[in-house]
A and B are shown apart, each in its own frame.
Chain A
Amino acid sequence: MLLGASRASEIARFLRDDEALKLDYCSNVTGVDWPEKEIVETVRVETPDPEGGAPKLVDTKVKRIQPGCLEVVYHLYSMSRGIGPVILRMRTENRTDRAVLPSLTPVWRACEFQEREVFDLFGVVFEGHPDLRRILMWDEFKDHPMRKDFTEPDDYEWEPTPHDEVLSKAGRHYPESAQAAQPEKNAAPGAGGAPQGAVKPASQ
């Protein structure tokens, strides 16, 4: 069920209190990031014939950008009636400055911590939430880790593994340690004639 932001609280209250449904248990609140997508569609367009004949139907590729949004999904169950799940979805208008949705915490207290988590990891601001703070990341953290365009900071502790990604990051920070690793590798038993190619710092 896709809810609009304006009536969401009323609908949620109805779902909780209605005698037939009595969806009193909000089990799961999830955030989903849908970044904007470029969609290429093949459309038949009438193009005028340059030679002056009848207009032809030509297949042209039309590009359009589907705007991205952040979606919040609620799974509702009824403990008294034993039914479920009823899935509610709410979408924000965009991912940057209008990522605001009404909070359903006044209706189901179970959403309290989970909406805080969606705020923390995705950046959706819930209006009406009693205590909207970051919950899993520390309060001064700036970015939203679960977004698809999140770039992880590269200043965490590193270890020289054979993987190029970590090694190249390490090579940028600590070139002398990576160099020191190589003579140790040369000293390792190379009886089988294996080339010392696993640690490749110098090329970074």
Chain B
Amino acid sequence: MIESPSSPLIESAGSRVRAVQDDFHGDLLEISMGPHHPSTHGVFRMIATLDGEAIVKLKPVFGYLHRNHEKLGENTTYLGSMPYTDRLDYLNSMTNNWAYALAVEKLIGQPVPERAEYVRVILAELTRLQNHTCLAGFLMQDCGCSGTPLMYAFREREKILDLFESLSGSRMMCNYQRFGGCRVDPPSEWLEAARRLTEGYGAFLDEYEALLTRNEILMARTQGVGRLGPELAVNSGITGPMLRATGVAYDIRKVDGYGIYPRFTFRVPLGAHGDTYDRYMIRILEARESISILRQALKDIPAGPIMDPKAKLRGLRPKPGEAYGRIEGPKGEIGFYLISDGSPNPYRYRIRPPSFVNLTLLEDLCLGHTVADAVVILGSIDIVLGEVDR
């Protein structure tokens, strides 16, 4: 292995940089819920120090899926980075694409035609639906339901993925949004299929809630577990359903009003206690709101071009400048910060991942709970390692 010259910086900063195994207590048990674990939502490691059953210290360790997306972005053109954004939060590729397209459109000042905005909203809400349904399924899996609710959720998710496949060509790695619109114009049959799915999804959610929401075991395991207060949540940069479960009304769709969201009427569900049960319920309620937005969007979608005629596909060279574009992804605020220096590749390509920042409070939430609760809390934070590690 070629030795890189060691940085004098790290050595001089030795007093400020601590290793993990600094405090080693003799009577506490330190377990590593290691990277190979069925319930850690990916290669994620938690080093928990236990006093009996209760957790006294919990350090999350990740970086096992670190592919240095940001460096890749510096070596690829703006268009070439679009397929890589699919692979960040690999469950929600459409919203990742939209966030990146939004950032680049802000950078170059590119307008987007109306039909493309409607299609983007439809796809983003479909993504939100399938993410929230699957999260409920994964949370149940973590609670020990051995996959039954998960499989029901996946059965419905497959219908949404079939829609994505017939539109963009791929179920998950859609690579669909472009700077100035969308790649493919959805035909009317696709819109019909989307309408049918939207109408049928409400019934599925009713059945799903009948299975889960009033379930005594679920309530006993999740109510009061991982309670989070609103001030700490705001200060820690938590966004998304986890923040709204604490009672803070911050939904970027309402605050920023990006795209054409101001045209749709939808409610933002807020939680009262900030515990795991609230986070689960928020997601089910948000899924219902997504259905309502989908109905409105599918009714009002106009005809027109799907891509701005003046938009350039290749050879994009933005003027030097910077832009920060963010959207309300299903997991929280996903943002892209781009600095351009006039060349075809960005000078700095930064991804602001929601799961990464939401993990700040993992230790605080788990203190005092048991290991089983730690798994459930992690499940309710809804992380995807592709995004955490990039």
Contacts and interface: CB of A to CB of B under 8 A. Distances in A.
Determine whether A and B are in direct contact in the complex, meaning some CB atoms lie less than 8 angstroms apart. yes
Interface of A: 24-28, 30, 32-33, 73, 75, 79, 82, 85, 87, 96-97, 99-100, 108-114, 117, 121, 123, 125, 127, 129, 131-139, 142-146, 150-151, 153-155
Contacts of B255: 82
A82 B20 CA distance: 38
A139 B2 contact: no
Given A28-B337, A97-B8, A110-B237, A153 B62 contact: no
State the main secondary structure of chain A at its contact with B: loop
A24 B63 contact: no
B248 A26 contact: no
Contact of A75 (B2, B4, B324): B324
Interface residues of B, number: 49
B324 A28 contact: yes
8 contacts: A27-B333, A75-B324, A75-B335, A97-B12, A121-B70, A127-B16, A136-B62, A137-B66
A121 B389 CA distance: 12
Given A123-B7, A145-B68, A79 B63 contact: no
Given A32-B348, A75-B324, A145-B68, A109 B359 contact: no
B27 interface: no
Given A133-B18, A133-B20, A137-B63, A25 B237 contact: yes
Nearest to A24: B234
A108 B348 contact: no
Contacts of B70: 121, 146
Contact of A110 (B16, B357, B389): B357
Given A27-B237, A113-B359, A131 B7 contact: no
Given A110-B235, A135-B63, A136-B66, 19 more contacts: A27-B333, A28-B337, A28-B350, A32-B348, A73-B337, A75-B324, A112-B360, A125-B17, A129-B16, A132-B16, A133-B19, A136-B62, A136-B390, A137-B63, A138-B63, A142-B5, A146-B68, A151-B4, A153-B2
